[in-house]
Structure 1
Amino acid sequence: MPGSETDLDRKPKWQPRFPGSGRLKGKVAIVTGGDSGIGRATAVLFAREGAKVAIAYLEESEDAQITAKAIKKEGSEVLLHESDLGCPDSCKLLVDRVIDKWGRLDVLVNNAGEQHPDEDITDITVEQLQRTFQTNIFSMFYLTQAARPHLKKGAAIVNCTSVTMYKGAGLLLDYSATKGAITAFTRSLSEQLVGDGIRVNGVAPGPIWTPLNPMGGQPPEKMDDFGEDTPMGRPGEPNEVAPAFLFLACEDSSYMSGQVLHPNGGIIVNG
C-alpha cells in the first residue's frame, strides 16, 4: 500500500490546471505521500506556486521520480525521502534533511495514509489495526513533533482526513477511525498553535482516483462504479483536491484555523 500510480491503466489527473501566482514563493514545504495521487498533485502545485518541496514516500521510487521531475519542470527544487513515517526517527531525519538543505520549514502537509477493506470488525487483525493507526495518525504526531521547533509565525499545517470520518464507511472501519482521530488532532493542534501564528487545517476528500483504492484499498468488485454514488456521479481527480491544500497552506486562508474543506463530489456533511 498505497500502490504504484505507474501501474494504473487509467492514470489520475494530477497536473496543475492553472498558472501559478507566487502564493508560496520563498516557502519550503513537506508533503507526505507525495509520490502519487493527492500528494503528487499537491507537491507539484506547490512548486508551481513557488515552494521548494520535500516529498516523503514509503517505497514507490518510480512514482517519486516522476513527481520530482515534475517539480523541477516547474522551476523549483525537490528533496526525496523514502522511509516509513510510522517511525519517529524517520520523521526526525526527514525534517533534519529539509533544514540542512533549505534552512527553513513553512508548510507541513500530512497526507500519507493506507486503508484495508474488511467486511466485519472481527476480520481486522491486530497487525492491520496497529499498522493503519501507525501510518495514518501516529505519523502525523511524529512528524509534527519533529517539525514544531522549525515552524515560525505564518507557518501552516494541513492534514488529510476523509469523508469517511463524517459519513462512515462500513468496509473501512479502522481507516475511518483514524480519520476521525485526524480531524480531532487538527482541531486540537489548531487550538495549541494558533496563538503562535501557526494555522492548522484539514482537507476531507471524497472518493478520489488514486492508487490507494484500486490497489487494495477497496474490494475489486467495488471499483467498477467507484465514486458514482456521489452527487456528481464520478470520482474526483487529485488535481481537483490539491487546490484545497494550496488554499489552506497560503495566506489566502489567513483567517482560517481548525477548519476542514470538503472536495467530495457534492456529498453534504456536517463539520
Structure 2
Amino acid sequence: MPAHDQARLIDPVGLHPRPPFPEQDQDHPGSTEAMRPRPDHGEDTYRGHALLHDRKALVTGGDSGIGRAVCLAFAREGADVVFTHLPEEAEEAEETTRLIRRAGRTGVAVACDIRHEDECTALVDKAVSELGGIDLLVNNAAYQMSQPDGIEAITTEQFDRVMKTNLYGMFWLTKAALAHMPRGACVINTASVQGYQPSPHLLDYAMTKSAIISFTHSLAQMLTERGIRANAVAPGPVWTPLIPATMPDATRFGEQSPLGRPAQPAEMASAYVFLASDQSSYITGEIVNATGGTPLP
C-alpha cells in the first residue's frame, strides 16, 4: 500500500487514551473540565458536509458528553439546535452553545428537567418558537447511579429519577414533538449496550435502556404512515462526566470492550448524523450498535 494511503488510516485501538485513568471522583452531574483525560467532542476534528442543511434539531442532554458531540456535529452539518441541560449544568451548556454558534448556526440552551411533563411540553414549544419547527428529535438525556450493593441499595427516589429521566421524558417529548414534525423528520433515541448486556450494578438504568430499544422498534412502525423515521444508537462505554460522577471507580472504565478503551463522545456523533440525514432514508426501527466490538443482536 502506498505511504500516502497508509497515512489516511486510523488505528481504532490507539486513537484515544486507554485505561488506567487517574482517580477522579466527582459529584453528579460531573464536570467535563475536571475530567482526565478530557473528553473529545470533535472540537478539532469533526468536519461537516452539509448533510443536515437548515434542519431544526431538538437534543436533550446537550450540555456535555454524547449530547454535546451531537450538537456540535449537527451544527457543522448545517442544523440549528435547541438543547437541554439541568440548571446546575449551565456552565457546561454555555460551551455547547459557543460551539454551535461558532459553526454559524443558531444554538439555544434551555434549562429543563424532563422528569416533569409540563417542562417537556414547554421545551417543545420553545424549540418551535426558536427554530420554526422540529425536524430532528434526539432523546439523549439520561440518569444512572451505580449500586454495587444490590437491589436493596436502589431507593425509590433513585428508581423514580432513572425511570422518569430515561423513559417518561422521552415519551412526553416524543409525543409533544410529533405534532410539529413534518414528513421526512427523524426521532433518534440513545439506547445502550446495557439494554442487551445489563450490568448488575446498573440494574435500573439497564431496564430503561431495554425499554428504549422496544420503544424505538414500536414507534418506527407507528410512524411509517406519517413519513417519519425512528431509530436509536446503542453506545458501549463512553467517556463522559456521568462516569466519574456515578461510578465508584472510573480508573479502568472501558477496558472491557474489545478495543480496550472507552469511546470518546466524538466517536458517537457520526452515527446520529447518519440516522438524521437522507443517507439513511430506508432505515427505520433500527439500533445502531457502537460498542467498540462487543457483539449485540
Q: Same fold (TM over 0.5)?
A: yes
What does residue range 232-247 of structure 1 map to in structure 2 within 5 Å?
232-247=259-274
Letter of the aligned partner of 1:196 in structure 2?
Answer: R
Whole-angstrom distance in 1 between the partners of 2:56 and 2:208? 27
Give 1:10-49 correspondences, 5 Å limit: 10-15=37-42, 17-49=45-77
The corresponding residue for 1:107 is 136
Aligned-partner Cα distance in 2 for 1:10–1:152: 41
User: What is the CA-CA distance between 1:3 and the residue it aligns to?
Assistant: 2.1
Q: For 2:121 and 2:33, how far apart are their aligned partners in 1?
A: 29
Q: Which one of the candidate residues 36, 47, 50 is aligned to 1:9?
A: 36
Q: Structure 2 CA distance, aligned partners of 1:19 and 1:122?
A: 47
Task: Say whether 1:67 aligns with 2:96.
Answer: yes
| Letter of the 1:170 counterpart | P
The Cα shift of 1:4 comes to: 2.3
Deviation at 1:46, TM superposition (A): 0.1
Contact persistence 1:201–1:258 (CA under 8 A):
yes
CA distance in 2 between partners of 1:231 and 1:147 (Å): 38
Distance between the aligned counterparts of 2:207 and 2:155, measured in 1? 15
Matches of 2:291 and 2:70 in 1, distance apart? 16
- Aligned to 2:283, which of 241, 256, 261? 256
CA distance in 2, matches of 1:232, 1:101: 41
1:183 pairs with 2:210:
no
- CA distances 1:98-133 after superposition (whole Å, capped 9, x unpaired): 111221110000000010111211111111111100
CA distance in 2, matches of 1:76, 1:151: 20
1:2–1:114 Cα contact (<8 Å) kept: no
CA distance in 2, matches of 1:18, 1:126: 41
The amino acid of 1:73's aligned partner reads R
Q: Which has the larger radius of gyration?
A: 2
After the TM superposition, which parts of structure 1 deviate over 4 Å for at least 4 consecutive aligned residues?
A: none
Residue in 1 aligned with 2:6? Answer: none
Corresponding residue number in structure 1 for 2:24: none
- State the secondary structure of the residue aligned to 1:167: coil
The alignment yields a C-alpha RMSD, in angstroms, of 1.0
2:241 to 188, 194, 211: 211
Cα distance, 1:2 vs structure 2: 3.1
Which SS does the other structure have where 1:29 is aligned? strand
SS of 2:196's equivalent in the other structure is: helix
Greater shift after overlay, 98-107 or 132-141?
98-107
CA contact (8 A) 1:2 1:113 kept: no
Any idea what the Cα deviations from partners look like across 1:180-213, whole Å, max 9, x if unmatched? 1111111111111111110000000000000011
List aligned pairs for 1:216-227, cutoff 5 A: 216=246, 218-220=247-249, 223-227=250-254
- Number of aligned residue pairs: 267
**Alpha-carbon offset, residue 7 of structure 1:** 2.5
| Aligned partners of 2:46 and 2:73 also within 8 Å | no
How far apart, CA to CA, are the structure 1 residues paired with 2:131 and 2:137? 14
Report the secondary structure of 1:7's partner residue: coil
- 2:141 paired with 1:123: no
Counterpart CA distance in 1 for 2:182 and 2:68 is: 25
Match of 2:294 in 1: 267
Determine if the alignment matches structure 1 residue 78 to structure 2 residue 107. yes
Aligned mates of 1:205, 1:2 — CA distance in 2: 19
1:96-175 alignment runs, 5 A limit? 96-119=125-148, 120-175=150-205
1:69 shift after superposition: 0.4
1:90 counterpart (113, 119, 124): 119
TM-score (norm 2): 0.88
Q: Report SS of the residue matched to 1:172.
A: helix
> Which residues of structure 1 form unaligned runs of 5+?
none
Which residue number corresponds to residue 232 of structure 2? 202
Query: If the length of structure 1 is used for normalisation, what is the TM-score?
Result: 0.96
Q: Percent identity?
A: 43
| 8 Å CA contact 2:187, 2:229 repeated in 1 | yes
Cα 1:57/1:18, change in 2 over 3 Å: closer
Per-residue CA distance 1:210-252 (angstroms, 9 max, x = gap): 0011112x112xx111101110000100000011111111111
Other structure's SS at 1:81 match:
strand
